[in-house]
Structure 1
Amino acid sequence: MDPIPYLPLSAQTISSLAVGQIQRPVSVNTMDSPVPSRSGFSERHTPQYNSSLKKHTPSQNNSSLATSEEKKPVSRIVEKLDSHSDSIVYPGKVQVTFITIALCLSILLVALDQTIVATAVPKITDHFQALDDVAWYGSAYLLTTASFQLPFGKIYTLFSVKWTFLAAISIFELGSLVCGVAQSSKALIVGRAIAGLGCAGIYSGGLIIVSYSVPLRQQPIYNGIISSTWGIASVAGPLMGGVFTEKISWRLCFIINLPIGIVTALGIMLFFHPPRVQRSTATGVFGYVKLFDIIGCFVLVSAVVLLFLALQWGGSKYTWKSGYTIGLLVAFGVLVVIFIGIQLWMQDNATVPPRILKNRSILAGVAFSFMLGGSFFTMVFYIPIWFQAIRGKTAVSSGIDNIPMLLGVVVASTLAGASVSAFGYYTPFMIASAVFSAVGAGLLTTLQVDTGHARWIGYQAMFGLGIGLGMQQPIAAAQTVLQLADIASGTALIVFAESLGGSLFLSVGQSIFTNKLIDGLVSQVPNLDPSIVLQTGAVGLKYAIDPEYLPDVLAAYNHAITKTFCVSVALSCFTIFGAIFTEWKSVKGNKPVVAAA
């Protein structure tokens, strides 16, 4: 791909830029684009531009100009990469505040939608009389979310960040509307799939917008706020779903997204204005098709679909050893190999450019996020089940009892973001995350039927602290080590890894839970048909089981759940490898600007 030509800069232009008289780069044709460099100029021409700056050093008169300029009120933040580089102009504090609120609302949308439906499923299945479709209410959403995260990352590099993000919000809102007014189970599943497609572009898009809105050294704070919102919504979702379902209607779980989405879209439209840079060199539909790597995206989506089908059917519709399950997994592996080959062939135009994967911090961050996502979502799903089955709590009260983990995530995410901005380094927090989350998850495996409040509160808080400390750090690493043109792809890759880890290990956890529960029931309560317990569900367990068998059933249930927690223990321990292989780079240092390969 040929470098984008820019008009040569005169000494006068450079001097004007140095004192802030020119706020946007001079180019042939400009538009809102997702791929500016930190300076607003082509990454490929940065070295030549810096050299020209050295040749045309501003005179003493220019210094006096700068002094007088400093006395004027400044409504925007200007970050300089080094003493010889130009500047990128960021929004002022008021605009950033409204952008942050809008982004938090967008994250609230997608995080709530991943968990809020769980407590509404019983009512939905009763309404539609479609028990066989239960699994698809969650899987349809996760399937499209995971499948299109990397393609959305590519879209963000080709088109306007602002309008791509708004398009993702619109798609999500459409899916929520379809779900809210669905008159059949099939329509609800279609709506969930549409909402998942929109979700794929929202979370990564929000993090990309942060990189355009505040200087690098401040980005960890805002990433921490976003991560806190994600943590709050992930834990509060089941609680809200229970309240809506019990007090009003299950449809409100979806309709509530509409006003929130509208406010989010208005906030981004009014207050977020990305830099104007050189228009893409692509011309016509075929030009964009070539840049988009449509073949690679198709292979990727197909691979993710096959993986999800294998995880969905394995151990339920088909055994793990059946030809169907093995065939799906083998086909998934083949498509992954093909996808990698396509990426190597496409190079800079690939969905995941190989130059990004050559970066040690990105590979380490992907591994860290994959395992942390699996650990977190396993606990988010199974801790409420422990409260409902073992403690006899309702869906609402189990959500309340889950608050200690929520607070741990929120407090740690916020403090970690502020600390990274203050001290510069994010790697120590990844290491601390591995330690705290592993210890917290390990303590949660010791829960018993009669465990007191102090223990399950403290254990959850410990685990939440670990998750909160590390959740945002791979994103901070990507924003630090990658040039701005690659941040969209790098961010999407990390978010994809986190979502894939959550989806994959939820299925692994489900398999462990089911097998351990059946084994425990067979050994401890041989006179009770295990299918009765499996079909009863967690909430009605104490009411459906004969009191004579109940203590042994609860013991078997507790053993199965705590064994499932071992998945989180193992994954949290393995995150340490992602942490220690992450480079020690500071968000406060000068960010190197490297031309794309």
Structure 2
Amino acid sequence: MEPPEAPAGHVYPTGMKLGLLMTSLYIAMFLVALVGWYGAAYMLTNCALLLVFGKIYIFLNVKTVFLTTVVLFEVASAVCGAAPNSVAFIIGRAIAGLGAAGVQEEILVLIVYAAPLAKQPQYQGFFGAVYGISSIVGPLIGGAFTSNVSWRWCFYINLPFGGVVLLFVFFLLRVPEGVSFRDSPAVWKHKLAQLNLEGVVILLSGVVCLCLALQWGGFTYSWSDGRIIALLTVVIVLLIAFISIQILRPKTATVPPHIFIQRSILARFWVSCTVGVHMTLFVYYLPIWFQTVKGDSAVESGIHLLPMVIAMVVSSILSGIGTVRVGYYTPILIAGTCLVSVGSGLLTMLQVDSTTGQWIGYKIVYGFGLGCCFQAPKMAAQTVLPRREVAIGASLMLFEQTLFGAIFVSVGQNVVDQRLALLLARIAGVGLTPGEIESAGLTGLLDRTPSEDHPAVLEAYNSSLRLCFLAALAFACLSVIGSAGMEWRNKQVREEVKEAGRTRSL
């Protein structure tokens, strides 16, 4: 199963045509990442199906798959925007996660037909920046719509931009024809077997059970409760089943075990997981810190993320340029993981009376380091893996970040809720039960407490949220281990070898 290469004589788009095409792909990546922070249902289906879409282009026309998943994402956005109840909203988010998985994965394949090999790293570098920007700008845009219009516009806004993506990609991108939809049932059965759908179902079920156990355990139910024990037992059984399938069916494995034997891929796995955790925790809980401890509105809390965004964009662009010029991505990754560790440590020092200058400086350090961490894991897969496994390696990177992010969103919520309930119980004038705290939400507790107790409540908020920041710091420090374990491979040499091989084959 070979990943696609542009055929000999393929005419790449140039000039304005190339600019419009790449802009539409960046918009698509921006949209699917932008609303990825509005619920675990999205993240769970997204991470599980990333692995499927890492293989599906082998059997179908990649352009058709991409356009179909964009339409699916648009329909899901409309469902979420018009949802009359929470059930409809959750269903819409789950469908959106499916569509987003296809968009994220197929973009990495479409770039092969949009730009020649020598220019692909340059354009791929911007995808990391776009993804990171949208992940952090999401709370800003969502807060603006929620405060001034309606939360429903967080989803309606996708519709016109998605239409632009469909229009430009349909007319401007040319790819070779894929397999025929008229293949016999036997052929389609073989193709579906290659996707290892049973492994995906088992994995998704296990992640759902794990997230529920981590979110409920110790707060909604005690850790010794039969429901929590049952969920964790199911997780262990499903994990064993998933690993067994990967080992017993190596040719169709969703996660080929032999890939992880390679040193750089194992190190990259470590980095992707740890970066996904600390980035998710900060993106979720820094806006809450501003809204609760500093009393900001949703819009203001989003605006206060801009120092992090700007620093991240600058460093992402500079790291991409530096890697293309020097050829080595490992030193940039090491510098990035060290910087995010320092920045995370600074962010754990946030207090109720922290000044504007302090939190701006802390975020700049963290954001600059984060931007340096986006490109290297993907470049490692492109450099050290055989060509036939590069797409699987890229999908694994997205999967790792999304999976661990989804898990630790639940963990973070549990930690904050338990710590806050404990601290509020020590305040004489505050008599809220854990259930009342959960129903009020983090930003609504001040309205339920006497004004004279507000300073103590704010300290409780700050202490609870800092536990999440401390967890993020731990994972940021762990990411340094992965970056140090990455091989020093020259990407330029690998690309020259690939190009020479293609030239000899013509």
> TM-score normalised to the size of structure 1?
0.77
Separation in structure 1 between the aligned mates of residue 193 and residue 97 of structure 2, nearest angstrom:
26
Separation in structure 2 between the aligned mates of residue 582 and residue 90 of structure 1, nearest angstrom:
34
Separation in structure 1 between the aligned mates of residue 197 and residue 440 of structure 2, nearest angstrom:
46
Separation in structure 2 between the aligned mates of residue 477 and residue 213 of structure 1, nearest angstrom:
22
**Cα distance change, pair 152–233 in 1 and its aligned pair in 2 (3 A):** same
Given candidates 114, 122, 126, the residue that maps to 1:213 is 114
Given candidates 376, 380, 383, the residue that maps to 1:477 is 380
Separation in structure 2 between the aligned mates of residue 519 and residue 434 of structure 1, nearest angstrom:
34
1:546 equivalent to 2:447? Answer: no
Once the 2 structures are TM-superposed, how far is the Cα of residue 166 of structure 1 from its aligned partner?
1.6
Aligned length in residues: 494
**Cα distance change, pair 298–548 in 1 and its aligned pair in 2 (3 A):** closer
**Cα distance change, pair 300–361 in 1 and its aligned pair in 2 (3 A):** same
Separation in structure 1 between the aligned mates of residue 45 and residue 211 of structure 2, nearest angstrom:
10
Once the 2 structures are TM-superposed, how far is the Cα of residue 230 of structure 1 from its aligned partner?
1.7
Once the 2 structures are TM-superposed, how far is the Cα of residue 170 of structure 1 from its aligned partner?
1.6
Matches within 5 A, 1:162-561: 162-274=63-175, 284-523=187-426, 525-531=427-433, 535-561=439-465
Q: Conserved in 1, the CA contact under 8 Å of 2:61 and 2:179?
A: no
Separation in structure 1 between the aligned mates of residue 213 and residue 438 of structure 2, nearest angstrom:
21
Q: What RMSD, in angstroms, separates the aligned Cα atoms of the two structures?
A: 2.6
Once the 2 structures are TM-superposed, how far is the Cα of residue 183 of structure 1 from its aligned partner?
2.4
Q: Conserved in 2, the CA contact under 8 Å of 1:441 and 1:565?
A: yes
Once the 2 structures are TM-superposed, how far is the Cα of residue 435 of structure 1 from its aligned partner?
0.5
Amino acid aligned to 1:36: P
Once the 2 structures are TM-superposed, how far is the Cα of residue 494 of structure 1 from its aligned partner?
0.7
Once the 2 structures are TM-superposed, how far is the Cα of residue 93 of structure 1 from its aligned partner?
4.8
Deviations 1:335-391 (A, max 9, x none): 222222222232232222334333322222122111101100100011111111111
Separation in structure 2 between the aligned mates of residue 271 and residue 369 of structure 1, nearest angstrom:
33
The aligned counterpart of 2:26 is 104
The aligned counterpart of 1:565 is 469
Amino acid aligned to 2:338: V
Q: Conserved in 1, the CA contact under 8 Å of 2:214 and 2:414?
A: no
Once the 2 structures are TM-superposed, how far is the Cα of residue 445 of structure 1 from its aligned partner?
0.8
Q: Conserved in 2, the CA contact under 8 Å of 1:208 and 1:491?
A: no
Separation in structure 2 between the aligned mates of residue 390 and residue 542 of structure 1, nearest angstrom:
10
The aligned counterpart of 2:35 is 113
Q: Conserved in 1, the CA contact under 8 Å of 2:61 and 2:176?
A: no
Once the 2 structures are TM-superposed, how far is the Cα of residue 582 of structure 1 from its aligned partner?
1.8
Once the 2 structures are TM-superposed, how far is the Cα of residue 491 of structure 1 from its aligned partner?
1.1
Deviations 1:201-236 (A, max 9, x none): 222222333344335554343233122222222222
Once the 2 structures are TM-superposed, how far is the Cα of residue 326 of structure 1 from its aligned partner?
2.6
Separation in structure 2 between the aligned mates of residue 418 and residue 279 of structure 1, nearest angstrom:
40
Amino acid aligned to 2:269: V
**Cα distance change, pair 90–366 in 1 and its aligned pair in 2 (3 A):** farther
Deviations 1:434-475 (A, max 9, x none): 111110010011111111111000101111111111022211
Amino acid aligned to 2:466: T
**Cα distance change, pair 558–184 in 1 and its aligned pair in 2 (3 A):** closer
Deviations 1:1-41 (A, max 9, x none): 9xxxxxxxxxxxxxxxxxxxxxxxxxxxxxxxx7235x85x
Deviations 1:386-410 (A, max 9, x none): 1111111110111111111111221
Amino acid aligned to 2:333: M
Q: Conserved in 1, the CA contact under 8 Å of 2:32 and 2:103?
A: yes
Separation in structure 1 between the aligned mates of residue 249 and residue 263 of structure 2, nearest angstrom:
21
Query: Please, which runs of 5 or more residues in structure 1 have no aligned partner?
Result: 2-33, 41-85, 118-137
Deviations 1:122-159 (A, max 9, x none): xxxxxxxxxxxxxxxx1222221122111121213332
Separation in structure 2 between the aligned mates of residue 141 and residue 236 of structure 1, nearest angstrom:
18
Higher helix proportion (structure 1 or 2): 2
**Cα distance change, pair 257–517 in 1 and its aligned pair in 2 (3 A):** same
The aligned counterpart of 1:575 is 479
Percent identity between matched residues is 39
Q: Conserved in 2, the CA contact under 8 Å of 1:293 and 1:346?
A: no
Given candidates 144, 151, 156, the residue that maps to 2:52 is 151
Separation in structure 1 between the aligned mates of residue 397 and residue 352 of structure 2, nearest angstrom:
38
Separation in structure 1 between the aligned mates of residue 121 and residue 218 of structure 2, nearest angstrom:
41
Separation in structure 1 between the aligned mates of residue 493 and residue 25 of structure 2, nearest angstrom:
26
Separation in structure 1 between the aligned mates of residue 305 and residue 4 of structure 2, nearest angstrom:
42
Separation in structure 1 between the aligned mates of residue 31 and residue 18 of structure 2, nearest angstrom:
20
Separation in structure 2 between the aligned mates of residue 407 and residue 230 of structure 1, nearest angstrom:
13
Of 495-504 and 291-300, the range deviating more from structure 2: 291-300
Q: Conserved in 2, the CA contact under 8 Å of 1:36 and 1:484?
A: no
1:92 equivalent to 2:14? Answer: yes
**Cα distance change, pair 284–422 in 1 and its aligned pair in 2 (3 A):** same
Of 427-436 and 359-368, the range deviating more from structure 2: 359-368
Amino acid aligned to 1:490: G
Deviations 1:239-270 (A, max 9, x none): 21222223222221111111111111222222
Separation in structure 2 between the aligned mates of residue 187 and residue 217 of structure 1, nearest angstrom:
46
Deviations 1:473-531 (A, max 9, x none): 211211222334322211111100000121112222222222222232233x1342243
Separation in structure 2 between the aligned mates of residue 549 and residue 359 of structure 1, nearest angstrom:
56
Amino acid aligned to 1:528: V
Please tell me whether Structure 1 or Structure 2 has the larger radius of gyration of its CA atoms: 1
Once the 2 structures are TM-superposed, how far is the Cα of residue 181 of structure 1 from its aligned partner?
2.2
Separation in structure 1 between the aligned mates of residue 155 and residue 68 of structure 2, nearest angstrom:
19
**Cα distance change, pair 427–203 in 1 and its aligned pair in 2 (3 A):** same
Q: Conserved in 2, the CA contact under 8 Å of 1:512 and 1:560?
A: yes
Q: Conserved in 2, the CA contact under 8 Å of 1:219 and 1:421?
A: no
Separation in structure 2 between the aligned mates of residue 409 and residue 354 of structure 1, nearest angstrom:
33
Of 372-381 and 573-582, the range deviating more from structure 2: 573-582
Amino acid aligned to 1:448: Q
1:160 equivalent to 2:64? Answer: no
**Cα distance change, pair 463–394 in 1 and its aligned pair in 2 (3 A):** same
Once the 2 structures are TM-superposed, how far is the Cα of residue 533 of structure 1 from its aligned partner?
5.3
**Cα distance change, pair 406–561 in 1 and its aligned pair in 2 (3 A):** same
Deviations 1:275-295 (A, max 9, x none): 568999996222212322233
3-state SS of paired residue (2:57): helix
